[in-house]
Copies of this chain bind each other. A is one copy, B any other.
């Protein structure tokens, strides 16, 4: 039996998984992300933990096919990372560094959102599907594009940066990227709260949200499900802009399946139903439509996708 290691590096913890060559997860563990010295120790800590887990199971590095890694920032096609503010890396080559720490095994790195998409296309909501797009709705909106089973990283590492698709050029508020009207401004956890607050401010409409001081994206979805009209409007805005953005993506790469993940996706079918209704309206030209599915791997999508990178 041969083995593969999947590593998902986040800003606070690194998730790790040991897989067999068929992609079955044998064990997972976490190590803290120590960002001192510009993140120089992150991969040392990862390598030490990997060695420990392998030794405990009596597996030699010669039986490890490789290690894949998701990085929270752009990774160039040759593995170079120009800048990763979340980890402190600058002009860094995580593939070579980790490979050297693990006796020269094969290491492959990719952007975390892309790697999560690959994970869902490998063992998750879109298992076995070749053309998949994943949207991760969390604090921001991330995306990953899988064409023919491969990640589309793009020439400048911006493949799948769908959170910054300008869906509303008339927006007044500036997005973190400097633009106005990005998808992220409406479809992230903070976005849907902002949309609801704006509706509360600009209208006198009755809403159960008026009774609640500070509310979260979950509250907006819960109130919408309970029938609150204003909350429904905020959810509808999110679904409309996601449907519009997905139509743009489909008229570019035409996937079979869209996977919706991230914290916001816990809202469930209200989200996939809402998005796909708008999506169908905006893709008249495509006779057979893509399907929308909720992600199934949760926080493990990254380690599955990372493992797949070296399979």
Contact = CB atoms under 8 A, between A and B. Distances in A.
A286 B158 contact: yes
A148 B154 CA distance: 9
Interface string A281-299: 1111111111000000000
B251 A155 contact: no
Contacts of A166: 244, 247, 282
Interface residues of A, number: 47
B254 A156 contact: yes
A145 B286 CA distance: 16
Contacts of A244: 166, 169
A165 interface: yes
A147 interface: yes
A130 B155 CA distance: 9
Interface in A273-311: 281-290
Contacts of A158: 250-251, 254, 283, 285-286
Query: For the complex, would chain A's binding face be called helix, strand, loop or mixed by DSSP majority?
Result: loop
Nearest to A82: B287
Given A166-B282, A282-B179, A288 B252 contact: no
Given A166-B244, A166-B247, A244-B169, A255 B147 contact: no
B161 A251 contact: yes
A252 B252 contact: yes
A286 B130 CA distance: 27
A92 interface: no
Contact of A285 (B147, B150, B164, B169): B164
Interface string A140-179: 0001010110101111111111101110010000000111
Contacts of A253: 145, 152, 154, 159, 252-253
Interface of A: 130-131, 143, 145, 147-148, 150, 152-162, 164-166, 169, 177-179, 244-245, 247-256, 281-290
Given A165-B251, A179-B282, 12 more contacts: A130-B155, A147-B152, A148-B150, A155-B255, A156-B287, A159-B254, A161-B251, A161-B254, A162-B251, A164-B284, A165-B248, A179-B281
